[in-house]
Amino acid sequence: MVRSRPPGPITRRVDGAFNVNLNEDERSAFIKFFSEFEDLLNADSRDDNLRRLFPVAYHDNLENDGEFQRLMHDDLVASKRASLEISRRIMLSTADDVVAEADMLQLMTTLNGLRLVLGTMLDVGEDDGDIDDDDPLAGQRHLYEYIGWLLEWVVAGLHEGFEPDEKS
């Protein structure tokens, strides 16, 4: 028996396509975040805040890792830029517009990348607990959690049987 999820920010349609149910303010905010992410990639794709996007391929061989990074880095950056462009197009659409599964995969890639960069900037770790609202970075930490929550909905829409926790 397949359980149905309550309506959320991502809805999979009967035809297999998707609707992204975000309001105009949320969409505008994501367009801004995507632009900032792209600016960071364009400014210096070897910025330390991007290190989780381009992880070490060979931990025990710096020479091989350097060669891998030299050969693959530009292609990885180009791939991220292409995902950003599709994600921006999705956010410029409306909730009634249909999003293909392939485009939803690109949105997933962009949200994951954005979350990795923000998590690096915030030095988020596995042991981090609840957000202290007195923390000067509380807003950014809430954004990090929101992006993670939205990412869960995208993954849930793409993979039947997975239901994300309700947003608190």
pLDDT band at 162 (very low <50, low <70, confident <90, very high): very low
Average pLDDT over residues 9-24: 92
Return the percentage of the chain with pLDDT > 90, whole number. 52
**What integer pLDDT is reported at residue 160 of this predicted model?**
56
pLDDT at 122 over 80: yes
Helix locations, the chain, DSSP H? 24-43, 62-92, 101-122, 138-158
**Contact present, 117 and 52 (Cβ < 8 Å):** yes
pLDDT at 151 over 90: yes
**What integer pLDDT is reported at residue 6 of this predicted model?**
60
State the helix-helix crossing angle for 24-43 and 62-92, rounded to 10 degrees. 150
Q: Hey, which residues does 18 pair with through a beta bridge?
A: 12, 99
Phi-psi map region of 161: left, alpha, beta (phi>0 left; psi -120 to 50 alpha): left
Dist CA 39 CA 44 (whole Å)? 9
The pair phi, psi for residue 11, each rounded to 5°, is -125, 125
Average pLDDT over residues 151-158: 94
Q: pTM (2 decimals)?
A: 0.84
